[in-house]
Structure 1
Amino acid sequence: MKNQMDWQLNIYLLILAFISCLFIYSSNTNFGQYSGSFIVKQIIFFCIGFAIMYIIASLDFEQLRKISWYFYALIVLLLIVLIFAPDSIAAPINKAKSWYQIKFIGTFQPSEFLKFAFLLVVAQIIEKHNTKAFKQTYITDLWLLVKICIVVIPPMLIVYKQPDTGMIMLYMAMLIPMIYFSGIKKQLLVIITLIPTIIISALVIIYFKFNSFYTEQILGNLSPHQVSRINGWLHPFEYSDSAFQTKQGLLAIGSGLFGGKGYLENNVYVPEKHTDFIFSTIAEEMGFIGGSIVIVLFFLLIYRMVFHALHAKKQYTFLLASGIIGLFTFQVFQNIGMTIGLLPVTGVTLPFLSYGGSSLLSNMMLIGLIHVIKKSYSGYLFQNTNEVEVQFDAKYSR
């Protein structure tokens, strides 16, 4: 087992864990925003996370296939129960009902673990579809998309209603690469790509040319929380309350200059500095150098995932890797982008750095899958790699 794990990947995770604990502690020292420190819990979460990662890495894909639908059903059930759960066990946090409150442990967010469930079941759907559909047509490709939508859209609607738009964006960042590499016809991919492009372009035109329609018909159909975040992003000086977190994050990052103020020397108040805006603490105390080191670490982490994806011998393993890569790449870009005002605030955490048990544990589960992918092509499963590779190339080259 030791030789089957990517220890270079684990080293990057350990460095990120060390940085996370350092700056979570630092984020809660100067302002007294919270009554207790989160550092002990975060250390416990990392210990549990590495244990779960190791357990998943010890499995093979046949075992993962067997549990995938059961795990998916469990998470969907927890999401449904969350809708009707009383506030005593599922109190809203920041106007979102997304967590179960577990005594002596903390909160549990089912939507975080839906990432893992989606990844397994969608990859399995695509693999089985391609195995059965020997003659590929537009009808078979559309049927594949319908099957994926039947599985992912209902739970995504539940998460959207919590509301948690940021999590929906993460799901899409994971699912889009999987669909792209599913082997469906390129012409259909072009159409799928054009639809969101046209929608985004239309929204931009409406915003600049028909602002009253944008305000009444588009913003009017969103929740007050979503409207507040959009206005705070587009008009930070007109909506100072909505943009307060973004402006404070920018101030913290900018005040760090090139070399930073030094560890524990953060003096700019930023709400939720230990969670979504952990990057602002790092950049304030360690400056441009510290922020750049963190970005390089994420680059190296994702590079190792890409390395294993390119060595995958089966379409199933390649799909899993592409989904995980898409998820983490978008999550890092979105989180850092919102802390510097480039993107709207969505509540997306910075993976492996932000405080949060559910987010951290679900991400460690995904890293466990990367280890399984590495194990699969290095001969641990004793498959006929030449035969499998030919089959995968035949499907992918459609």
Structure 2
Amino acid sequence: MKIQMDRQINTYLILFALISCLFIHSSSTNFGQYSGAFVVKQIIFYCIGFVLMYAVARLDLKQLKKISWPFYAVIVLLLIVLIFAPESIARPINHAKSWYQIKLIGTFQPSEFLKFAYLLVVAKLIESHNTKGQVQTYITDLWLLTKIAIVVIPPMLIVYKQPDTGMLMLYTAMLIPMIYFSGVKKQLLAIITLIPTVILSTIVIIYFRFNSFFTEKILGGLSPHQVSRINGWLHPFEFSDSAFQTKQGLLAIGTGLLGGKGYLRNNVYVPEKHTDFIFSTIAEETGFIGGAVVIVLFFLLLHRMVFHALHAKKQFTFLIAAGIIGLLAFQIFQNIGMTIGLLPVTGVTLPFLSYGGSSLLSNLMLIGLIHAIKLSYSSYMFQNTDEKEVRFGDEFTREKNAHSI
């Protein structure tokens, strides 16, 4: 079967691939910081990623639902095994035990692929719950939220212990829009949202009014690596070592001015410049203009994904698209925000640009889901079916309740 993939999305991905390889090469050639052939590996990752994207795009809705739980089980099992794996195959990197080291292949990060598993399983849970024909009440909505929590919280706790708080933030950014459009009563969501809002507000008040208590009790419960990053963000001049990466990244971006210094002329040393801080290299060498072009490309990609989400005919596919859009939008904002000192450093990569096999492969698999959604609603127009489904939250629930009455 010929797959009519979205040409605009593929064009953006090809541009991202070119930008990624160019600036990974530039980032890794200066200062004698690295000796690995990162560009060659990134090209290989992109080739594998495009194959995976095409394979996912070929899956129809029934196949996606069929693989959801087995894929989730495999990823969770890999996360559990990672806890007990010896350092010969799971060596900690930057204080985090998040990767398997595989000879001839490189590193493999299971938590990256948990995003794909979460999307399928949570969307399937919500759709299954909403198609049972039961009258919607606060009790049924709480039961749906409970089922989602049972699925997502245990693996998230494992990822938190690695520790990888950046990945937890990505999971949250992905799940929030899925839950919002699940049909759960907005009053209930408002009450649930109020809880973390109060907690965060309390932490902010404690930080400004009871700073010693904040330092001893709140920061004391975090790992030294997490405390170092938070201190470097909140007190960049007092904790210059912790804030070194952020200050250097900001310096690199600032010295790029409007038009940049030119390709291969980056002269500001930034640790991990080819991975988490790839945007600092782009802005240093191409200036404000080049950085703005990259941001516009991300905006165009997200805009195209929103287009496909709004045309999705099934709640299952609409929820998947909403989750992917929320995830990538937050990831872009978080990565660029931390390079300019607006947000704390979390180790979150810049999608499709940062060096990293697991991150790139998992994100291209997510784009494969967007292509699959496009194919599903394109073929839907030529199907004769009496099935009717409204995909937007409360409207879906109201129609379901009307039929049940």
Contact 1:91 1:99 in 2 (8 A): yes
- Alignment of 1:184 with 2:189, yes or no, is no
1:308-333 Cα offsets, whole Å, 9 max, x none, are 01111111111000000000000000
1:30-81 Cα offsets, whole Å, 9 max, x none, are 1111122300000000000001000110110101111110000000000000
Aligned to 2:201: 201
Matches within 5 A, 1:1-398: 4-379=4-379, 382-384=382-384, 387-390=387-390, 394-395=395-396
Contact 1:181 1:396 in 2 (8 A): no
Q: Which runs of 5+ in 2 are unaligned?
A: 400-405
Aligned to 2:403: none
**CA-atom RMSD, angstroms?**
1.5
SS of structure 1 residue aligned to 2:157: helix
Q: What is the CA–CA distance in structure 1 between the aligned matches of 2:58 and 2:390, rounded to whole Å?
A: 26
Contact 1:263 1:286 in 2 (8 A): yes
Question: Which segment is superposed worse, 33-42 or 270-279?
Answer: 33-42
- Identity of matched residues, %: 81
Q: What is the CA–CA distance in structure 1 between the aligned matches of 2:153 and 2:182, rounded to whole Å?
A: 18
Look up the equivalent residue of 1:56 and give its one-letter code.
V
Deviation of 1:183 (Å)? 0.2
Aligned residues: 398
Q: What is the CA–CA distance in structure 1 between the aligned matches of 2:11 and 2:391, rounded to whole Å?
A: 34
Contact 1:42 1:357 in 2 (8 A): yes
Q: What is the CA–CA distance in structure 2 between the aligned matches of 1:328 and 1:335, rounded to whole Å?
A: 11
SS of structure 2 residue aligned to 1:192: helix
Question: Which segment is superposed worse, 381-390 or 294-303?
Answer: 381-390
Look up the equivalent residue of 2:396 and give its one-letter code.
K
Q: What is the CA–CA distance in structure 2 between the aligned matches of 1:391 and 1:221, rounded to whole Å?
A: 42
Look up the equivalent residue of 1:334 and give its one-letter code.
Q
Question: Which segment is superposed worse, 328-337 or 376-385?
Answer: 376-385
Deviation of 1:5 (Å)? 1.1
Q: What is the CA–CA distance in structure 2 between the aligned matches of 1:184 and 1:17, rounded to whole Å?
A: 39
Question: Which segment is superposed worse, 352-361 or 205-214?
Answer: 205-214
Deviation of 1:387 (Å)? 3.9
Question: Which TM-score applies when normalising by structure 2?
Answer: 0.96
SS of structure 2 residue aligned to 1:107: strand
1:348-388 Cα offsets, whole Å, 9 max, x none, are 00000000000000000000000011111112685447743
1:268-298 Cα offsets, whole Å, 9 max, x none, are 0000000000000000000000000000000
Contact 2:332 2:351 in 1 (8 A): yes
Q: What is the CA–CA distance in structure 2 between the aligned matches of 1:113 and 1:219, rounded to whole Å?
A: 29
Q: Which runs of 5+ in 1 are unaligned?
A: none
Contact 1:60 1:381 in 2 (8 A): no
Q: 1:339 to 1:392 in 2, by over 3 A?
A: closer
Look up the equivalent residue of 1:269 and give its one-letter code.
Y
Contact 1:4 1:378 in 2 (8 A): no
Look up the equivalent residue of 2:41 and give its one-letter code.
K
